[in-house]
Amino acid sequence: MTYQKGKPLLTPREREVFELLVQDKTTKEIAQQLFISEKTVRNHISNVMQKLNVKGRSQAVVELVRLGELKI
């Protein structure tokens, strides 16, 4: 994977979404808490999965933890 040095992998909003995701929040709960639509939540999750080149939310979480981008 090639990321620009010093440039964060996740946007602040993507980080918020994944921090809630690891707390076992549903897409609906995340949307309500962040005042965004469920579709927007799914878009953020999808964007992160693409950045990481993984399939599935759980794989994305595992990879983000491995990279030190997310604490659980």
DSSP 35: T
Q: Which two tokens stand for residue 68?
A: 């030190």
Residue keyed to tokens 């979480």: 61
- Give the model's confidence band at 6: pLDDT under 50 very low, under 70 low, under 90 confident, else very high: low
Residue found by looking up tokens 């993984």 in the block: 54
Which residue, chain included where needed, has tokens 């965004």?
Answer: 36
Q: What is the CA radius of gyration of the chain?
A: 12
Condensed to tens digits (0 to 9), the pLDDT of residues 29-53 reads 999 999 999 999 999 999 999 999 9
- pLDDT band at residue 7, thresholds of 50, 70 and 90? confident
Structural domains in the chain, CATH included, are 10-65 (1.10.10.10)
Alpha helical stretches, state H, the chain: 12-21, 27-34, 38-52, 57-66
